[in-house]
């Protein structure tokens, strides 16, 4: 796929509700993605069965960037492939803070950038769920 959407659920190491929140996100991911895609005009299609790339592991350095909340956080990351009618050259991180101790965010990137952001070893550990 040319474009990917990373769905990133992160929480602090000592979060009591973060792991349960990420489990909830995963349980409703397919339905929510389908509903959101129907609202977007520039996405022609998306692979709706996201691959779990990381499962409550240290957040990748390249995703932390300027987000201080991810510095000492655990991330669960799903990857969904999509095709956009109007391909954007530069994608930005869209983060929605959900609570003080957990965050849900999205990052669009080109298909060939995934291994640069999240090393292949993360994929081997996560598996497809």
In DSSP notation, the chain reads --EEEEEEEEEETT-SSHHHHHHHHHHTHHHHHHHHHHH-SSEEEE--S-EEEEEEEEPPHHHHTT-GGGTTEEEEEEEEEEEESS--S---EEEEE-SSSEEEEEEEEEGGGHHHHS-HHHHHHH---
Tokens 């291994």, located at residue:
115
Q: pTM for the complete prediction?
A: 0.71
> Of 115, 95, 123, which is closest to residue 8 (Cα–Cα)?
95
pLDDT tens profile 3-54? 888 888 988 888 888 899 999 888 888 777 777 666 666 666 777 677 888 8
Predicted confidence (pLDDT) per residue in 48-90, tens digit: 677 888 898 988 887 766 566 666 789 999 988 877 665 554 4
């Amino acid at each position: 796929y040319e474009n990917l959407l990373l769905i990133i659920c992160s929480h602090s190491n000592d979060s009591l509700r973060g792991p349960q929140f990420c489990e909830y996100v995963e349980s409703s991911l397919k339905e929510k993605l389908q509903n959101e895609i129907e609202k977007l005009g520039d996405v022609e299609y998306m692979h709706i069965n996201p691959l779990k790339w990381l499962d409550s592991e240290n957040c990748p350095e390249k995703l932390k960037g300027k987000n201080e909340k991810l510095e000492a956080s655990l991330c669960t990351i799903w990857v969904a492939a999509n095709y956009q009618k109007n391909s954007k050259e530069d994608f930005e991180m869209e983060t929605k803070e959900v609570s003080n101790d957990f965050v849900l965010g999205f990052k669009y990137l080109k298909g060939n950038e995934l291994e640069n952001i999240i090393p292949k070893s993360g994929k081997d550990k996560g598996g497809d769920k």
